[in-house]
Amino acid sequence: MSRELNFVGISGSLRKGSLNTMLLNAAAKLLPEGVHMTLVSIKDIPLYNGDLDLPETTERPEEVEIFRKALAKADALVLVSPEYNYSIPGVLKNAIDWASRGDDSPLLNKAVALMGATPGMWGTVRMQTAFHPVFQFLNMTPVQKPEVLLAKANTKFAEDGKLLDEFAAELIRKKLLALKDLCIKLQ
């Protein structure tokens, strides 16, 4: 394969000092050779409103169009998210809902890697499980192994956001390499 792959990375947290954004930033530094990652923010995406979602006239809010175009350029997605109420945070689900609509959905048939960080003990396992029906509906292909479920994440980063846990870094490297391999296989 001669061209560089483009992954798009999205944090499911808007919070300053987010452990998940730190995890995403760490992942961006652990990419395999031949891969670039563009980080895309979901903070300005409005709440989904079907009255504003008019793909036949291409009239969607500007922030949504920018988001969808970034996703369309991606060979794969890297979603890094906290778990809220045993599920996907509303802000991330909202962004996915905007991107999933229409025959022109940039999520259809994409490869995806899912990771999560939490100060708790469960490591976002329920959020990750909640994504399976979403991936199924969009015919997305997730990288199943290795799982990156970073528990006690508040102890795994330096104040500057650097990932201190080498075992976690190795899991992330393996996950991203598996995503690269999946992209190549799917092309």
Domains and CATH numbers, the chain: 5-186 (3.40.50.360)
Percent of the chain with pLDDT over 70: 97
Classify residue 81 by burial, with Cβ atoms within 10 Å: 0-12, 13-18, 19+.
buried
pLDDT of 187: 86
pLDDT above 60 for 169:
yes
Q: Per-residue b/e over 30-43, b at no fewer than 16 CB within 10 Å?
A: bbeeebebebbebe
Predicted confidence (pLDDT) at residue 69 exceeds the cutoff of 60: yes
- Residue 2: the pLDDT is 64
Predicted TM-score (pTM) of the model is 0.95
Q: Tell me: pLDDT of 23 over 80.
A: yes
Report whether 92 contacts 12 (CB < 8 A): yes
* pLDDT-based confidence at residue 59 (cuts at 50, 70, 90): confident
- Structure confidence at residue 3 as a pLDDT band (50, 70, 90): confident
pLDDT at 57 over 70: no
pLDDT level of residue 58 (50, 70, 90 thresholds):
low
- Summarised one tens digit per residue, pLDDT across range 109-122 is 999 999 999 999 98
Would you state the pLDDT for residue 75?
98
Whether pLDDT at 72 is above 90: yes
Residue 1, pLDDT > 60, answer no
Quote the pLDDT of residue 102: 87
Distance CA 16, CA 30 (A): 22
**Tokens at 20, concatenated:** 């998940």
The label of the residue with tokens 């940039």 reads 106
Bridge partners for 10 per DSSP: 79
Confidence class for position 54, pLDDT limits 50, 70, 90: confident
Predicted confidence (pLDDT) at residue 67 exceeds the cutoff of 90: yes
CA distances from 60 to 49, 134, 175 (A): 10, 22, 34
Q: Are 52 and 46 in contact (CB under 8 A)?
A: yes
Average pLDDT over residues 152-169: 96
